[in-house]
Chain A
Amino acid sequence: MPYLWINNKVAVELDELVPKYWNCLKTLQSELNRYKQKPFGIKRLQLGGNGRKLLIDFDSLKIAIQDELGDPRRIDNPLEPFFEFDPQAVRYYTKFKRAGNALEAEEQERYIINASVMSAAIKLEEARFQERIKLRGSIRGMLAILVKDVEQFNITLKIKHEVSHNLPASEKQFKKLLKDCKKDLYYPIIKDPNGGKTNNARKVDDKTEVIFNGLFKNQLHKPTPSEVARHYDAFLNGYAEIFNEETGELLNPKDYKALSNTTIINYINKWENRIATHLSRSGDRQKYMKEYTTPHQMDMPVYSGSIISIDDRNPPFWYEKGKRVWFYIGCDIASQCFTTVVYGKTKEGIITDFYRQMVRNHTEWKLPLPHELECESSLNSNFRNTLLRPGAMFQSTRIIANKASGKYIERMFGKIRYDIEKESYGWISRPHAKKESNQAGPGENKIIPYNQLVNDRMIEIEQWNNMPHPTERSISRFDYFLKKQHPDLKPTNWEAILPIIGYKTETSCRLGYVTLQGRKRAIANEGSILTGEALINILKIIESKEVVVYWLDGNDGQVIKALVYFNERLICEIVEMPRYNRASIERTKADHEARVLQSSYVASVESFARQQRSKFENINITDKRAKTVNSNFKFSNLKRFEAKEEHFPEIFEDQDEDALMLTQTTAIPSWKRNFIQ
């Protein structure tokens, strides 16, 4: 058989030509030599010998020989030169999803073939158009020919590739598909790409499904799926009416098809329906969430203080029959260390105590408060807009509606329950524990005295915190908590948290001191006592006034922070004035410093007083208002001053006061006067 050689040439081997067309090799060789230098006649493709085969150019053979041998380049369909399996189609259809589902392998295969053939058809149409223009032929009726070519191409596909396409054979349909495929080759090939047409054949369409779910969800007595099936049957037969509560529309049974009970039950029990109907019907939210909510996948934090997870817990021990202690516990997730624990017989006020305790502990350990909080909503929702507002006590808060699997601390509780508490005296098992080893043993539940119970639990938490950290086993959980604090934690925002969780005391400011818990405390700012101008500015506001102090005590009972509020406005902080020894011989360096501080504190107040006094000038007042109405009442024997009239000599006015006359007292005759007269 001739076969393809390079440059679209076809090679024919010697044994196919000799002796059928040439008697022997020699005659063939002589003919080859005869036409060797000529532009026509038989030609070699490859010289024979030295391990090579003699190859003759198929195109140089006589036409009769060519016809008998057959040309491997011969094509039966004009699509052949343009056809190739499209790798992009493979990628497209493997990734394509119809209504969320990937296509089946068989369907993908069909579309890949169809797209490849359609791609060839588009190329052929273009080439044919060009050819017809070139040969001055008509370009009418080309589509019909193309449809025929595509249809005929199935024969070639079956022979050469053992596959077949199913592109439309109808000219009208093919034309539409061709037009669409010119814009986007792959998408139009897909039958029902949105998965909508399959619904047309469905007996149970969307509106019927709405009826099932509505009947299943909205009825008060929580019907079983079988009951819903009976209701639907009654509705179809006219024994029951179904209406839309919102619009009041009565549904027409003629619009709905008869269905078997099994079908209805299966539809009601489909996951996508259950997830909605069970939410409305379920009384046990935990059970619902366990079945239908998807948990997040998260990596563990590395730094302690990044996030604290808190929750309440009733350890499985009784202090009276059926009564358990309420604990509220905070767990730093990175270290798994329980950093805050409070307890009580009820949960009243336990949450406020818990936050106070958290502040006390962190202050004692000289650590800032955690960055983020993860908590349940039942107790914490009251603090949502105050204490738990981002930036107040924590920078970020995640309040999870009560969901058992939502909080990290729940898992820690599980561990503590089965790894530590289980061995303790009086431990009560769950009534339906999965593992047999966690199920109740024989005998009654034990009663443990309250104080002992609390003490035991606290010791267990201590033990837990002192156990090795799961990833760094060389250090305990608590050590990990202390050492691996996140470097970017914000300092405690006392101003935001004290008015909410602090204790409130009404007191007053006297002579520069505010009394709290029977102790005089000096005015300070950010922990340091104020003196001078800053102190005076505060005193101008609160001296001799009633103020409110919010404060919090530490684990040792001492006040760790106290803030003074006047008219609901934060004024200052108060701290204890450092004391010094009365005897000078016993004073330490700190005592000296305390004395200097106290002196300057007192001096600030006194100098202010002096300064104020010097501002005032010596000004007085004479009151001229009459104190009596008249003088009708008088004592007769009383000597009193009476005003008498005095007579002064009269002075007459000089009429010619201004006309001054010079009286001549001398009689000396003058020469001048003689002339005047």
Chain B
Amino acid sequence: MARAISPKTLFEKKFDEFDFDGIWGDAFGKPEKGGVWIIYGAEKNGKTLFALKLAEFLTQYENVWYISAEEGTGKEFQANAQRAKIDPSSRKIKFSDYTEIELVKERLSKRQAPKIVFFDNMTIYNDELKNGAFRRFTSDFQNTTMIFLAHEEKKEPYTATAKLAKKLAKIYIRIEGLTAFVAGRCPGGIIAINEKTALLYHGSAIKK
């Protein structure tokens, strides 16, 4: 049984956090490293593009592993990566096609393992993560920031596992009309994935 701690001990605790700045800092604040984030939205609304942009941004803090399970690393994904302005010379981000959870676990267990992993998306991993597998997998790698992408149905993440992921997530980001609505344990905010389309879709209200 884990030892219970006093308030003093609680308040003296130090956490490893992302020191975000700019528009990311405005929306995300300074989130703690590790834990689950979820990005969900309807298809073709810019989930992958946002995830890639976020990944590009996160390379400033940690090594990033982006598992493109759904699309793979095909032509569309390449175009998306270019749109997301991934630095071609960057060594801090790696891309993979679909990788089984077991292999992911294996890699994450290694010494030079990436500290941020993107799973694009949960529908592909549904069979591997259901029935409590998701909870077990995330709790096994608490220091790794796992960012899951999920489809949306009735404005909620699709598949039960994705719903659970949203419940357990520190930060959840809903994507609609090329715009990311950041919420969860963070200041929250709106980030335009493609400013022109975002403005067209949502109007000037998304601009601060």
Contacts and interface: CB of A to CB of B under 8 A. Distances in A.
Q: Do A and B bind each other?
A: yes
B200 interface: yes
A77 B205 CA distance: 9
B203 A63 contact: no
A127 interface: yes
Interface in B54-105: 56, 82, 85, 87-89
B203 A148 contact: yes
A67 to B, nearest CB: 7
User: Looking at B89, B176, B199, which has the most chain A CB atoms within 10 Å of its CB?
Assistant: B199
A40 B82 contact: yes
A78 interface: yes
B7 interface: no
Given A62-B85, A148-B205, A78 B199 contact: yes
A535 B12 CA distance: 148
Nearest to A78: B199
A136 B42 contact: yes
A75 B82 CA distance: 21
A9 B202 CA distance: 25
A66 B178 CA distance: 20
B64 to A, nearest CB: 15
A146 interface: yes
A459 interface: no
A131 B42 contact: no
B45 A135 contact: yes
B195 A132 contact: no
A78 B204 contact: yes
Contact of B88 (A41, A74, A131, A134): A41
B196 interface: yes
Contacts of B85: 62-63, 66
Contacts of A134: 44
Interface in B20-50: 22, 42-45
A604 interface: no
B88 A78 contact: no
Nearest to B22: A67
Contacts of A66: 85
B87 A62 contact: yes
Interface residues of A, number: 30
Contacts of A76: 204, 207
Nearest to B90: A62
Interface string A490-504: 000000000000000
Given A40-B82, A62-B85, A67-B22, A135 B204 contact: no
Nearest to A130: B200
A63 to B, nearest CB: 4
B77 to A, nearest CB: 13
Contacts of A81: 196
A149 interface: yes
Contacts of B195: 74-75
Interface in A119-168: 124, 127-128, 131-132, 134-137, 145-146, 148-149, 152-153
Nearest to A40: B88
Contacts of B139: none
Interface in A54-72: 62-63, 66-67
A332 B88 CA distance: 99
Contacts, number: 68
A136 B45 CA distance: 9
Interface string A74-94: 111110010000000000000
A22 interface: no
Contact of A77 (B45, B201, B204): B204
B200 A78 contact: yes
A40 B178 CA distance: 23
A35 B82 CA distance: 14
Interface in B155-199: 176-178, 195-197, 199
Contacts of A62: 85, 87
A127 B177 CA distance: 13
A77 to B, nearest CB: 5
B196 A135 contact: no
Contacts of A153: 204
A135 B203 contact: no
B203 A146 contact: yes
A77 B22 contact: no
Contacts of B89: 41
Most buried by A among B42, B176, B202: B202
Given A35-B88, A74-B195, A132 B177 contact: yes
A577 to B, nearest CB: 107
A131 B200 contact: yes
A127 B202 CA distance: 12
Contacts of B201: 128, 131-132, 135, 137
B203 A145 contact: yes
A43 to B, nearest CB: 12
B203 A137 contact: no
A135 B177 contact: yes
A566 B97 CA distance: 126
A63 B45 CA distance: 21
Interface in A30-45: 35, 38-41
Contacts of A38: 88
Contact of A63 (B42, B56, B178, B207): B56
Contacts of B177: 131-132, 135, 137
Contacts of A124: 200
B78 to A, nearest CB: 9
A153 B178 CA distance: 21
B96 to A, nearest CB: 19
A145 B206 CA distance: 10
Nearest to A76: B207
Contacts of A40: 82, 88
A131 B197 contact: yes
Contacts of B178: 135
Nearest to A39: B82
Q: Of residues B42, B89, B201, which shows the largest number of chain A Cβ atoms within 10 Å of its Cβ?
A: B201
A210 to B, nearest CB: 52
A152 B204 contact: yes
B42 A77 contact: no
B67 to A, nearest CB: 21
Nearest to A35: B88
Contact of A137 (B88, B176, B199, B205): B176
A149 B203 contact: yes
B177 to A, nearest CB: 5
B199 A77 contact: yes
Contact of A75 (B22, B42, B199): B199
A75 B88 contact: no
A127 B199 CA distance: 11
A132 B197 CA distance: 10
Nearest to B155: A138
19 contacts: A40-B88, A41-B88, A63-B56, A75-B196, A75-B199, A77-B199, A78-B200, A78-B203, A127-B200, A128-B203, A131-B197, A131-B200, A135-B42, A135-B177, A136-B42, A136-B44, A136-B45, A137-B45, A152-B204
Given A137-B176, A148-B204, 9 more contacts: A39-B82, A62-B85, A63-B85, A63-B87, A77-B204, A77-B207, A78-B200, A131-B200, A135-B178
Leading 9 A-B pairs by shortest Cβ distance: A145-B203, A78-B199, A152-B204, A63-B85, A149-B203, A40-B88, A149-B204, A77-B204, A78-B200
